[in-house]
Chains A and B, each alone.
Chain A
Amino acid sequence: MISAERHAALSAWVFLSPALLLIAVFFFLPVLAALLLSFTDFDIYALGDLNRLRFVGLANYGQLLQSPLFWTALGNTLYFVVVGGPLSVAVSLGAALLVNSHLTRFPGLFRTAFFLPVVTTLVAVAMVWRYLYHPRYGLMNYGLSWLGIEPIDWLGDPVWAMPAIILMAVWKNFGFNMIIFIAGLQNIPPQLYEAARIDGASAWRQFRYITLPLLGPTFLFVALMTMIGYFQVFAEPYVMTQGGPANRTVSVVLLMYEEGFRWWNIGYASAAAFVLFALILAVTVLQLKWRRRSAMGL
């Protein structure tokens, strides 16, 4: 009996080993290396000659927490997560409800159309959106001028740059979450709605007391993945604003990239990466706990 169990365990390991090996070499090893680097002052000098590398303990972390630019970047990132995250989830839920509605004709067409931005290269999309946002020739301001609104320097104005980036990011990403929501919606047994209709429940009450609760697990998944993804915002500001104007769109990952690959302070940049990791981990755990508690309360 024991030997059969052992045999099963062994074959499990054999089947798992290719995947584990890949994850170990391409994920855990680099992460471990980055963690070690974050305790050193690896920079341009050390790149040329490893004898010029020093172990500095937690100095990188201390410097990071004292740097005003880091706090600016963190503030910008939180802005992006807190405004963009819920907006993205809401838009994808709305789109999923519309596409899934029995009133909608050609749901397949809409599903594909809404999903298209997700599979388009972000850099190409960002370039096109830069034209849309152009203060003089952009479509956005052209539309606003029809409403009699003064043109906005979307990407050049410190106040508008972040909303402009959020708008583009939401448009680019909502299709993915929409697909997951559609799958969640289709898992809800139609009898529940029938019963509710017989009891005379309005559409809103059906949504509030059947759709939302039964979408709970989907919601949690979508919210977590969106939050984690949005914390790591990089390509949008990198392509569209380079962190400007007046540092209003510098995100933590953009800061990390600048420090690491522009100034080549790899040690310092690694420290920034781990601070962001700790933050994402903490928020994820909090969100899971809060969900569990509210699930028990139901």
Chain B
Amino acid sequence: MSSLYRSFFILLLVLGISACDSADERTTRVEFWAMGQEGERVRALLPEFERRHPSIRVRVQQIPWSAAHEKLLTAYAGDAMPDAFQLGNTWIPEFVALRAIEPLDERLRAWPSTALADYFPGILATNRLNDQLYALPWYVDTRLFFYRSDLLATAGFADPPTTWEHWLKALHALKGAADAGRYAILLPINEWQLPVILALQRGATLLRDRYQYADFQNPLFREAFTTYLSLFEQGLAAPVSNTQMANLYQEFAKGTFAVYVSGPWNIGEFARRLPAELQPHWNTAPLPVSDKVPLSAQTEGLAVKGVGISLAGGASLALSRTSPRREAAWKLLEFLAEPAQQAHFYQLTGDLPARQSAWNDPALTGNRYAQAFRQQLQQVQATPPIPEWERIANRIAYYAELAVRREMTADAALAALDRDVDRILEKRRWLLARGVVP
């Protein structure tokens, strides 16, 4: 009997201790969602944060990229949002329309004025909507040329060209020097990025009237689109999708193509996957400008000579509007935004920092492939900041593929694209007509 009492007493004691533990009001537990490898590697930064803020504990939830968007939306619908979360910067308009993220301007008043100016301006702009900053850029992403410097040199170009006209000459020379079955450039036909980049470089706006209508039959977009198609018609690019290219890295090593338009993640992939003897023979180059296009269209914002506009991609960090722990979560965001942490995060992941001062870190200045990105990031532009953009981009890719495969003429494809996108934007027009800013 007494042993039963004793165990009952111990049980009470244990319950009491654990109750005290969970009732400790001085610790704030911040729930932080991050995607893919970022979600895994960011943990290495957190001990320092928790050392500086002993009353805050961070719980990182790692979410696979392929399910991240759905997971965040479902969390919002189910009222189970984390306190702080990572999101692709093209998703920001959507989460702003949902009223799911907290504007940051109030909190940013405490920052020195130089801190925001330290971000790449084109990247910061993607986080700003209706004159409010909704998220802090975490790392950046854009597209530029990866090329085989040895093949380019053999074709007569010791340095990468800086205009499209010269690049076209180089591509023709590369194609001429190659045997049949080889191409100058790889442009996966199921991607929307290059046609859109070419259009942005010409000053096309893609959508018109406050992003209410499609504007793809506009001469500026049309010219970009036909230029894109001509790369395939002239045999410079192979009409394959990226799932058909069984092993991209192997084909690049074999010289099946000498130029590839891609993003920063491939710096690491190329270094890992290309054979050692090829390592000195590849490099990166910013996208070129065009001789023909008036310079005013190409020099929006901080122009860098000889660098054409590319896309302002990347991931940002945001606060959930409904979180009761926004103060603690904001401290986490501020910590991750520090240049030192940004540089450290680059070493952990290879993700390029959003703050320019972090680029002075020896790890980055010593990476020769990253330098072209630093130039390119001065010259990036956002896609239309509306929730519908991902769906629109999806349609662009779809019709671009049909046009490349010649199942549709360029004009028919653009007319169909305009029609589809106008339908997607119907709700937005209705909302704007009612005076509700989406």
Contact = CB atoms under 8 A, between A and B. Distances in A.
B246 A153 contact: yes
A135 B241 CA distance: 17
Interface in B352-399: 387, 390-391
B87 to A, nearest CB: 14
Contacts of B98: 44, 47-48
A49 B430 CA distance: 14
B70 interface: yes
Nearest to A157: B244
B70 A262 contact: yes
Given A156-B243, A244-B243, A245-B241, A45 B76 contact: no
Contacts of A236: none
B97 interface: yes
Interface string B176-189: 00000000000000
A67 B390 CA distance: 18
Interface in A17-52: 41, 43-45, 47-49, 51-52
B239 interface: no
Interface string B69-86: 110011011000000000
A152 to B, nearest CB: 12
B263 interface: no
Contact of B97 (A45, A63, A135, A156): A45
Residue from A43, A48, A136 having most chain B Cβ neighbours under 10 A:
A48
Interface of chain B, main secondary structure: helix
Contact of A52 (B94, B423, B431): B431
A237 to B, nearest CB: 14
B246 A48 contact: no
Contacts of A44: 73, 94, 97-98, 387
Interface in B43-89: 66, 69-70, 73-74, 76-77
A271 B360 CA distance: 54
A264 to B, nearest CB: 6
Contacts of B427: 41, 43, 45, 52
Contacts of A51: 436
Nearest to A69: B398
B99 interface: yes
Contacts of A48: 97-100
B438 interface: yes
B244 A156 contact: yes
B428 to A, nearest CB: 8
B431 A264 contact: no
A245 B100 contact: no
Contacts of A156: 243-244, 246
A159 B430 CA distance: 42
Contacts of B246: 135-136, 153, 156
Nearest to B438: A45
A214 to B, nearest CB: 48
B438 A261 contact: no
B70 A261 contact: yes
A52 B98 CA distance: 11
Contacts of A244: 243
Interface string B209-249: 00000000000000000000000000000000101101000
Contacts of A135: 246
A51 B241 CA distance: 42
A263 interface: yes
Interface string A255-279: 0000001111000000000000000
A242 B100 CA distance: 28
Contacts of B100: 48
A54 interface: yes
Contacts of A262: 69-70
B62 to A, nearest CB: 18
Nearest to B430: A54
Interface string A50-70: 011010000000010000000
Contacts of A242: 66
A265 to B, nearest CB: 9
Contacts of A54: 430
A49 B73 contact: no
A261 B74 contact: yes
A136 B247 CA distance: 10
A47 B427 CA distance: 13
A242 B64 CA distance: 15
Residue from A45, A51, A246 having most chain B Cβ neighbours under 10 A:
A45
Nearest to B77: A47
Given A41-B427, A261-B73, A49 B99 contact: yes
29 contacts: A44-B94, A44-B97, A44-B387, A45-B97, A45-B387, A45-B427, A45-B431, A45-B438, A47-B76, A47-B77, A48-B98, A48-B99, A48-B100, A51-B436, A52-B427, A52-B431, A52-B436, A63-B423, A136-B246, A153-B246, A156-B243, A156-B246, A244-B243, A246-B241, A261-B70, A261-B74, A263-B390, A263-B391, A264-B73
Interface of A: 41, 43-45, 47-49, 51-52, 54, 63, 135-136, 153, 156, 242, 244-246, 261-264
Given A44-B97, A44-B98, A261-B73, 16 more contacts: A43-B427, A44-B387, A45-B438, A47-B77, A47-B98, A48-B97, A48-B98, A51-B436, A54-B430, A63-B423, A135-B246, A156-B243, A156-B244, A242-B66, A245-B244, A246-B241
> What 5 pairs between A and B have smallest CB-CB spacing?
A48-B98, A261-B70, A48-B99, A245-B243, A156-B243
